[in-house]
Amino acid sequence: MTEAVNQPDQPETLVGGEKDLFSKFDSLIQMRTDLLSTGVTDPFGMVMERVVSPTVAICNGRETILLGTYNYMGMTFDPDVIAAGKQALDDFGSGTTGSRVLNGTYAGHKAVEQALCDFYAMDHAMVFSTGYQANLGIISTIAGKGDYIILDIDSHASIWDGCKMGDAEVVPFKHNDIEAMEKRLRRIPEGAGKLVILEGVYSMMGDIAPLKEMIAVAKKYGAMVLVDEAHSMGFIGPNGRGVAEDQGCLDDVDFVIGTFSKSVGTVGGFCVSNHPKFEIMRLVCRPYVFTASLPPSVVATAATSIRKLMDGKAKREHLWENSKVLHKGLTDAGFQLGTESPQSAIIAVIMPDLERGAAMWEALLHEGLYVNLARPPATPANMTLLRCSLCAEHSAEQVQQIIGMFTRAGKAVGILG
């Protein structure tokens, strides 16, 4: 160190620096440097200074409409939810400091699991510290050596990581392609255990899966079925149970994975199931056992929110209306969207490339609108997307404002003619 200071005439370290364990990130570092050198605000470094409501925050000193937070049902500021959290803080303290299987199961954890059983009308519910851990834990634990996991290629990172953590053979198929899925199921050796993993709503493009057909095929080949309904809970289906409920095939789903970090409006993850032996998971699932449980205030807010979502029919209808209006408005303005018709509360706006995507993202921020920038390699077909997620608390006026902001920004950046 001191040596370097004493040798000012030595050439500076070359770009990329000495080769070490971080060298594998050089191309990503370069990509970020290039992007930021164009002068755009870092799309992955935004700070919300104040949150006014589920749909408005102060970002960089500016009042900003939130259109990329997955806060679908706007429960984050619900007075009953907040009151339940405060009460739990007072009664049970700030944290459990323990695993669910040791000292980390409080009355509130049991209560939220009961709320989930009631919400889904299922026998068992197991709450994890995040949805990521729910996928990680359930998938890696139930599919073991010699078993086969058949999954959609566009699956969420937590599903892929769950596959990687386990010992099963992992076989992906083309997105939403029923025939490709069936071919792979057909080729699995006789007698091997099979787990098919699907999502209700795919969060990148906002499209839904043909679950009814796919689950029928999976069952024909004797596979168990896990469906991640992270982006549909509370919103899709007559009771908000998700896409499987909407398509009338929830009874054939063996495991539903969900999260508290979207419609429920807090943090946490879960798996619900009717499997008679499901409770054994609590002892064998490592991401459940070897981590601390959720704080009492979190499970209290989650339980209150879930119970309120059970009769959220009016909110669900307004959210659908918002999705339809925004989808039509953006299509009419000339934007290319991820789906031809609105299928969920996610609307993906396809950008021509990362540069213009980042410029558009920034132009929208200047207009006072926050959306999610999604870029390769996290996106299907290496697209750059501006992902919009609507909220039941967005007013009709806000949706019109949003369409105006998109149109102005699109023209300024040169994406719209």
Ligand X SMILES: Cc1ncc(COP(=O)(O)O)c(C=O)c1O
Who contacts 27 (Cβ-Cβ below 8 Å, separation ≥6)?
A: none
Size of the site for other proteins (CB under 8 A): 17
Who contacts 48 (Cβ-Cβ below 8 Å, separation ≥6)?
A: 57, 58, 59
Q: How far is it, in rounded angstroms, from Cα 114 to Cα 134?
A: 17
Q: Is 259 in the site for ligand X (CB under 6 A)?
A: yes
In sequence order, what are the beta bridge partners of 245?
A: none
Nearer to ligand X, 164 or 183 (CB): 164
Residue 72, Ramachandran bin (φ over 0: left; ψ between -120 and 50: alpha; else beta) = alpha
Q: Which of residues 382-401 bind other proteins (CB under 8 A)?
A: 382
Q: How far is it, in rounded angstroms, from Cα 143 to Cα 167?
A: 7
Nearer to ligand X, 229 or 393 (CB): 229
The CB-of-135 to other proteins minimum distance in angstroms stands at 16
Stretch that binds ligand X, among 41-49, 59-67, 108-116, 226-234 (CB under 6 A): 226-234
Among 269, 296, 329, 357, binds ligand X (CB under 6 A): 269
The CB-of-200 to ligand X minimum distance in angstroms stands at 9
Q: Which of residues 146-165 bind other proteins (CB under 8 A)?
A: 148, 153, 163
Q: How far is it, in rounded angstroms, from Cα 67 to Cα 73?
A: 13
Amino acid letter for position 36: L
The CB-of-255 to ligand X minimum distance in angstroms stands at 13
131 binds, among ligand X, other proteins, none (CB under 5 to 8 A by kind): ligand X
What is the rounded (10 degree) CA torsion for 261, 31, 159, 244?
A: 60
Residue 368, Ramachandran bin (φ over 0: left; ψ between -120 and 50: alpha; else beta) = left
Residue 24 exposure: Cα atoms within 13 Å on the Cβ side: 1
**The 124-128 sheet, strands edge to edge:** 124-128, 269-273, 255-259, 224-228, 194-199, 148-152, 169-173
Q: Which of residues 194-213 bind other proteins (CB under 8 A)?
A: none
Amino acid letter for position 25: F
Q: Which of residues 83-142 bind ligand X (CB under 6 A)?
A: 130-132, 135
The CB-of-385 to ligand X minimum distance in angstroms stands at 14
Q: Is 156 in the site for ligand X (CB under 6 A)?
A: yes
CB 58 within 8 A of CB 393: no
Stretch that binds ligand X, among 227-235, 278-286, 311-319, 388-396 (CB under 6 A): 227-235
DSSP-based three-state secondary structure for 24:
helix
203 binds, among other proteins, ligand X, none (CB under 5 to 8 A by kind): ligand X
The CB-of-85 to other proteins minimum distance in angstroms stands at 41
Residue nearest ligand X (C-beta atom): 131
The CB-of-203 to ligand X minimum distance in angstroms stands at 4
The CB-of-5 to ligand X minimum distance in angstroms stands at 45
Among 170, 178, 217, 416, binds other proteins (CB under 8 A): 170
Q: Is 266 in the site for ligand X (CB under 6 A)?
A: no
Q: Is 323 in the site for ligand X (CB under 6 A)?
A: no
Q: Is 381 in the site for other proteins (CB under 8 A)?
A: yes
Among 113, 182, 228, 254, binds ligand X (CB under 6 A): 228
Q: How far is it, in rounded angstroms, from Cα 179 to Cα 210?
A: 12
Q: Is 203 in the site for ligand X (CB under 6 A)?
A: yes
Q: How far is it, in rounded angstroms, from Cα 336 to Cα 416?
A: 10
Q: Which of residues 6-65 bind other proteins (CB under 8 A)?
A: none
Who contacts 113 (Cβ-Cβ below 8 Å, separation ≥6)?
A: 125, 126, 127, 270
Q: Which of residues 4-33 bind ligand X (CB under 6 A)?
A: none
Q: Is 182 in the site for ligand X (CB under 6 A)?
A: no
CB 262 within 8 A of CB 231: yes
Q: Is 171 in the site for other proteins (CB under 8 A)?
A: yes
The contact set with other proteins (CB under 8 A) reads 148, 153, 163, 169-174, 180, 183-184, 187-188, 377, 381-382
The contact set with ligand X (CB under 6 A) reads 130-132, 135, 156, 158, 199, 203, 228, 230-231, 259, 261, 269
